[in-house]
Amino acid sequence: MERRKIVIIGGVATGPKTAARCRRLDQDAEITIVERGDLISYAGCGLPFYVEDVIEEYDALLTTARGVLRDVSYFRDHWGVRVLDNTEALKINRKEKTVTVKDLRTGETRDLPYNKLVLATGASPFVPKMEGIELEGVHRLYNPHDAKTIKEALDRGARRVVIVGGGLIGMETCGAFVGRGCEVTVFEMMPHLVPALMDEEMALLLEKYLKERGVRVSTGSPVSKILDDGTGRVAGVETADGRRVDADLVVVAIGVRPNTELAVETGLDIGPTRAIAVNDCLRTSDPDIYAGGDCVENTHLVTGEKVYTPMGSTANKHGRIIADNINGKRTTFPGVTATAVFKMLDFNCGATGITEKKARELGYDVVTSLCPRRDHSHYIPGAEFFVVKLVADRKTGRVLGCQVVGEGDGVKRIDVAATVLKFGGDVKALADLDLAYAPPYSEAMDAIAHAANVIRNKVDGLAHGVPPVEMKRRLESDEDFVFADCRDRPSYEEQTIENERTINMPFEELMEGPPEFPKDKEIIFFCNTSIAAYAAERVLRSMGYEDVKFLDGSLDAWPFPLETLKKQP
């Protein structure tokens, strides 16, 4: 009996995973990986950490956990998989079921027959049409060769770095350069950083942290050209409004685009995101061709929309599912919640689901919470703060999204939220989860449960919050309201949000009797974390005050500069 022929185009993530799973399920199949580059199965997500020197050895990006190099011989000897590296797939003949490939070293072409074909062609960095983009010293961080080149430039003394793009890739890259002691400037053309992942107030907390670490951040500022020093090397960048920033090194990190050329040329369906369209078995419009990883689109489990969310974790899941289906084991991939995390030195950021902005665009009646919490009990050394934002549908209580930023471990809360999103859970279900608790690991009321309960209080009409961005706008307006710091006098005098409306109204004094304000006067309380401010709202409403609110997240989630007041006692 003739051996089944499985050809996989692409050898970084989905491809090798598909090959390994296929071999486990079928010991007789002839499995071939075609890879255009000279490296296979490398740790692409580890590249920034190599640049930063967190990963010291280059080969660590290319080896298994036991230190075995994942090269052609490894896949041949360990998996019985043939790898054709430095080989480009030129054409797919669906009628003859062959792939024409070209050896990039010799120029030789040949046809590979297949019974099942897998497209794992990945994505490529988007390179804008910009003056100076080809100058020496302008880089993309896409593969280990890029990382090695950038690291060598830093080792030679490059210190002034400009990053074009403030999205996920830009932020991971920024962390690497800051960790190396570079002078870093980040340009993002959108109004705030990581716009696809975070709402404005959360992105501003990240920006605040970056500025405290010496990073210059310029949002709403597209780079118009990269400057030449006269010798073909980069000298800096210039923005659309004429500002110039000098640089020894420029990294362009404005996202990736799916590699769909082969799919388009062979007539496969392309989805609305311009990535390859697949069904829930990751099969393309051709029943004998599958596709997965960064070249395909996914279904968003919250919105039901088709989305392009390239992620290494998703690519590996795709590989397993494709192999199952190729081998007669029907397995489906339901979609993604668009979960993403990144680490900026000691600052953790993450998101899952959709942002408040996106939810409003989709027509949801949105309710949110913004909660600064510790990652474990305060009496255990090492507890750190982080801020969690939860987004929900007011009508149903369904959780729509979650974001975290801060030095505390907010990432595991993102995992909890992603799980609830996967199953369409609501805020009550989230609050009721029986999460692991011990003082070294969490507070008795975990941060994610606290965020869910704040939303429940808002839906029940018990709590009325004002988001930080809206609060800043109101403080800068001529609206008439009282802005009350309900902490004790020493805390108020040490640091507060300065405004002509700001007064000190300690919570303890509220318990002694009502303030001298009309019952219909709008009063907005704030404290450190909003806990006392919410309590103050409840006290005044019990006294008959009709329009009492609190600042969501209060001082610990306030992303704008704080002022120190020196008042007379």
Cα dihedral sign, 493-495-500-501: negative
Cut 0.85: pTM above it: yes
Enter the CATH code of domain 346-448.
3.30.390.30
pLDDT of residue 564: 55
b/e map 545-557, b = 16+ CB within 10 Å: bebbbbbbbbbbb
Active site residue 486: no
Cα dihedral sign, 136-142-148-154: positive
Contacts of range 99-108, beta carbons closer than 8 Å, 24 or more positions apart: 99/7, 99/9, 99/34, 101/34, 104/36
CATH topology of domain 465-557: Oxidized Rhodanese; domain 1 (3.40.250)
Which part of the chain has CATH 3.40.250.10? 465-557
φ, ψ of residue 203 in degrees (nearest 5): -65, -35
- Kindly give, in sequence order, each residue whose CB lies less than 8 Å from that of residue 92, ignoring residues fewer than 6 positions away: 98, 99, 100, 117, 262, 265, 266, 289
Among residues 63, 55, 1, 64, the alpha carbon closest in space to that of 30 is found at: 1
The answer on pLDDT for 566 being more than 50 is: no
pLDDT of residue 443: 96
pLDDT tens per residue, range 359-370 = 999 999 999 999
pLDDT tens per residue, range 509-559 = 998 888 888 888 999 999 999 999 999 999 999 999 999 999 999 999 999
pLDDT of residue 561: 85
pLDDT of residue 216: 97
Angle between helices 468-475 and 200-212 (to 10 degrees): 80
Mapped onto helix, strand or coil, the DSSP state of residue 169 is: helix
Catalytic residue (one of 22, 45, 182, 402): 45
pLDDT of residue 562: 81
pLDDT, mean over the chain: 96
CATH topology of domain 138-254: FAD/NAD(P)-binding domain (3.50.50)
Which part of the chain has CATH 3.50.50.60? 5-43+60-124+257-326, 138-254
- Taking phi over 0 as left and psi of -120 to 50 as alpha, with beta for the rest, 335 belongs to left
DSSP string for residues in 315-327: HHHHHHHHHHHHT
pLDDT of residue 25: 98
The answer on pLDDT for 568 being more than 70 is: no
CATH architecture of 5-43+60-124+257-326: 3-Layer(bba) Sandwich (3.50)
Are the beta carbons of 347 and 409 closer than 8 angstroms? no
Which part of the chain has CATH 3.30.390.30? 346-448
pLDDT tens per residue, range 2-40 = 899 999 999 999 999 999 999 999 999 999 999 999 999
Mean pLDDT on 39-57: 95
Strand partners, 340: 351
pLDDT of residue 569: 39
